[in-house]
C-alpha cells in the first residue's frame, strides 16, 4: 500500500547526504539523519545552514524549516516512522547488502529504501533483502542534490513497478527532473556519459593536444553552454538545420564515426595524474574548494532560474 512521503530518514551525512537533507527540509519535509562519524552532526548542520540562502533563492515550501531536522546516531531509532529512506553509505557492496538486510528487517513493507549509489546495481544490493526487496530502488542524484535537478531512478530485478512509480512521483514533486533508467548498467546514465567524456579529456591532455585549463575551457565555453539548455540529441537536431536530425545524420555520420575510431583509450598512470593535477591547480589560481563551489553554485542558480518554467512544465506532463 502506498503512503504519502512526509518524513525522510537520511543514512550517511557526507556531501550527498547533507545536500539531500537540505533539499528535503526546503521542501517542507521532516528529516531525521544518522551517521556513525562523531563529527557528522555538526557537519550536517553547517552544511544545511550554508545551503539555505541558495534554497531561499530557489523558493522554499511554506512549511520549510531547518528546525525539522533531527540527528539520531542510532540507526533503528532514526528510521522509525519514516516514509522513505535515502541511503548514502560507502560505495561498497558488502556494506550496502548488510545495511539493506538490516533495514528490510526493521522497516514496514511500504517504506521505500532509495540508494544514492553512483555505480552499484540495485539487483546486487537488494539481493540481501529476503522480506521486501520490491521496495528497494536507486534514486541517484547529481552533485549537489539540493541544486542540480537530475535524479536517476533505477529498479533492480525484484523492484516493483509501484515502487518505481512512487519514487518517480516523489522526486518530481520535489522539483527534481527524474528519469527512469530502464536497464541496469554500472554507473547508470549520467556518470557513464561523464566518464566517456573524461576519458577523452585525459587522452587529449596526455597526448599534449591541450592542457587541463584549455580542455576545460573548450567544454565549459563551447558545448557545455549548450548542454545547459538541451541534450546532444536535440542539439544535433538543430545542427541539421531545416532537415533536422535526419539531415544531420546524412551529413555527419561519416565524420563522426571517423572521430569515434580516433578517440583515445588512456590509462590514468601516475605521470598522467600528476600532469592533470598540476594543470587543475594552475587553472584554480589559488581559489579554495569552497570558493570554487560557491562560484559553481551561483552560476547554477542563475541557470536554474532561467529554466524554472521548463522544469515545471516537464513535471506536469
Asked if pLDDT for residue 205 goes beyond 80, the answer is yes
Question: Is 19 within 8 Å of 145 (Cβ atoms)?
Answer: yes
Classify burial at 313, counting beta carbons within 10 Å of its beta carbon; exposed 0-12, middle 13-18, buried 19 or more: exposed
> In the prediction, which pLDDT does 4 show?
87
Question: What's the whole-number mean pLDDT along residues 199-212?
Answer: 97
Question: Is 181 within 8 Å of 189 (Cβ atoms)?
Answer: yes
Asked if pLDDT for residue 2 goes beyond 70, the answer is no
Closest Cα partner for 35 from 50, 51, 26, 47?
A: 47
> In the prediction, which pLDDT does 215 show?
98
DSSP string covering 267-292: ---HHHHHHHHHHHHHHHTT--HHHH
> What is the distance between the terminal CA atoms of the chain, rounded to a whole angstrom?
25
The one-character DSSP state at 30 is: E
Average pLDDT score over the chain: 95
Question: What's the whole-number mean pLDDT along residues 31-49?
Answer: 97
Question: Which set of grid coordinates corresponds to residue 175?
Answer: 522539483
Question: What's the whole-number mean pLDDT along residues 238-243?
Answer: 95
- Write the pLDDT tens digit of every residue in 158-201: 999 999 999 999 999 999 999 999 999 999 999 999 999 999 99
- Write the pLDDT tens digit of every residue in 259-317: 999 999 999 999 999 999 999 999 999 999 999 999 999 999 999 998 887 777 766 66
Instruction: Please report the domains of the chain, with CATH numbers, ordered by start residue.
Output: 7-181 (3.40.50.720), 190-286 (1.10.1040.10)
Question: Which set of grid coordinates corresponds to residue 78?
Answer: 532514526
Question: What's the whole-number mean pLDDT along residues 200-205?
Answer: 97
> In the prediction, which pLDDT does 310 show?
78
Collect all residues with Cβ–Cβ distance below 8 Å to 90 and sequence separation of at least 6: 12
**105-133: string of b/e by CB count within 10 Å (b at 16+)?**
eebeeebbbbbbbbebbbbbbbbbbeebb
> In the prediction, which pLDDT does 150 show?
97
Give percent of the chain above pLDDT 70: 97
- Write the pLDDT tens digit of every residue in 62-97: 999 999 999 999 999 999 999 999 999 999 999 999
> In the prediction, which pLDDT does 1 show?
41
Classify burial at 289, counting beta carbons within 10 Å of its beta carbon; exposed 0-12, middle 13-18, buried 19 or more: exposed
- Pairing state of beta strands 112-115 and 84-87? parallel
Asked if pLDDT for residue 136 goes beyond 70, the answer is yes
Amino acid at each position: 500500500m502506498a503512503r504519502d512521503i512526509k518524513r525522510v530518514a537520511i543514512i550517511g551525512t557526507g556531501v550527498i547526504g547533507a545536500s539531500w537533507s537540505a533539499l528535503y527540509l526546503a521542501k517542507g519535509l521532516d528529516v531525521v539523519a544518522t551517521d556513525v562519524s562523531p563529527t557528522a552532526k555538526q557537519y550536517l548542520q553547517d552544511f544545511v545552514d550554508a545551503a539555505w540562502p541558495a534554497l531561499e533563492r530557489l523558493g522554499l515550501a511554506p512549511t520549510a524549516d531547518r528546525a525539522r531536522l533531527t540527528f539520531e546516531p542510532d540507526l533503528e531509532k532514526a528510521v522509525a516512522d519514516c516514509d522513505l529512506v535515502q541511503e548514502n553509505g560507502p560505495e561498497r557492496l558488502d556494506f550496502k547488502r548488510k545495511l539493506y538486510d538490516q533495514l528490510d528487517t526493521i522497516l514496514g513493507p511500504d517504506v521505500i529504501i532509495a540508494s544514492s549509489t553512483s555505480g552499484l546495481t540495485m539487483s546486487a544490493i537488494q539481493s540481501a533483502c529476503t522480506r521486501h526487496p520490491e521496495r528497494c530502488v536507486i534514486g541517484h542524484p547529481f552533485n549537489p542534490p539540493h541544486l542540480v535537478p537530475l535524479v536517476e531512478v533505477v529498479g533492480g530485478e525484484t523492484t516493483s513497478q509501484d515502487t518505481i512509480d512512487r519514487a518517480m512521483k516523489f522526486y518530481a514533486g520535489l522539483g527534481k527532473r527524474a528519469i527512469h533508467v530502464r536497464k541496469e548498467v554500472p554507473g547508470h546514465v549520467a556518470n557513464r556519459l561523464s566518464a566517456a567524456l573524461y576519458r577523452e579529456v585525459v587522452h587529449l591532455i596526455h597526448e599534449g593536444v591541450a592542457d587541463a585549463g584549455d580542455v576545460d575551457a573548450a567544454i565549459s565555453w563551447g558545448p557545455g553552454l549548450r548542454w545547459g539548455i538541451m541534450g546532444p540529441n536535440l542539439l544535433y537536431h538543430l545542427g541539421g538545420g531545416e532537415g533536422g536530425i535526419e539531415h544531420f545524420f546524412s551529413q555527419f555520420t561519416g565524420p563522426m564515426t571517423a572521430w569515434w575510431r580516433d578517440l583515445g583509450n588512456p590509462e590514468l598512470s601516475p605521470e598522467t595524474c600528476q600532469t592533470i593535477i598540476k594543470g587543475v591547480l594552475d587553472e584554480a589560481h589559488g581559489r579554495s574548494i569552497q570558493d570554487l563551489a560557491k562560484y559553481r553554485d551561483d552560476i547554477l542558480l542563475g541557470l536554474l532560474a532561467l529554466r524554472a518554467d521548463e522544469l515545471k512544465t516537464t513535471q506536469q506532463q
